[in-house]
Amino acid sequence: MAVAEEDIHVPIDRDVDVVTAREKGRELASRLGFSRTDLTLIATAISEVARNIVVYAGHGELVISPAQQGERCGIAILARDQGPGIPDIGKAMLDGFSTGKSLGLGLPGARRMMDEFEINSTVGAGTTVAMRKWVR
């Protein structure tokens, strides 16, 4: 069942904003009827993309909204920044690859946790990650 709501915009500038985005996403997903397991997956995927904004771009935004496709209901997450961009998305999506001091599991992990995942990036202009998860 669709929930009539406005998009939730969460500015991402520091670690506390990652927690805020995670909580707001989990709250919306709960109202949309996701299982406890899916709530955890959604919150974790949100944390991963929001954390990347803090670490690599310094500033960005998450937009979290209900999604509807025919009879399906779900959640859509859009993470965007105007940071340095990702020079090689293919490498960035490999487990274990990191340009920072992380384990390199964030983006590929988020892709596995969500039903739909798309990333676009332009060096010097920023990165956009769009993810969706559908209620089962």
CATH number at residue 73: 3.30.565.10
Nearest to 79 by CA among 22, 6, 136, 4: 22
- The verdict on residue 3 lying in a domain is no
Q: Give pLDDT tens digits for 12-65.
A: 999 999 999 999 999 999 999 999 999 999 999 999 999 999 999 999 999 999
Average pLDDT over the chain reads 89
The domain of 97 spans 8-134
- The verdict on residue 1 lying in a domain is no
* Residue 27: partners with Cβ closer than 8 Å, 6 or more residues away: none
Total domains in the chain come to 1
Q: Give pLDDT tens digits for 58-116.
A: 999 999 999 999 999 999 999 999 999 988 888 877 766 555 555 445 788 899 999 99
Per DSSP, the three-state class of 4 is: coil
Give dist(CA 112, CA 132) in Å, integer. Answer: 11
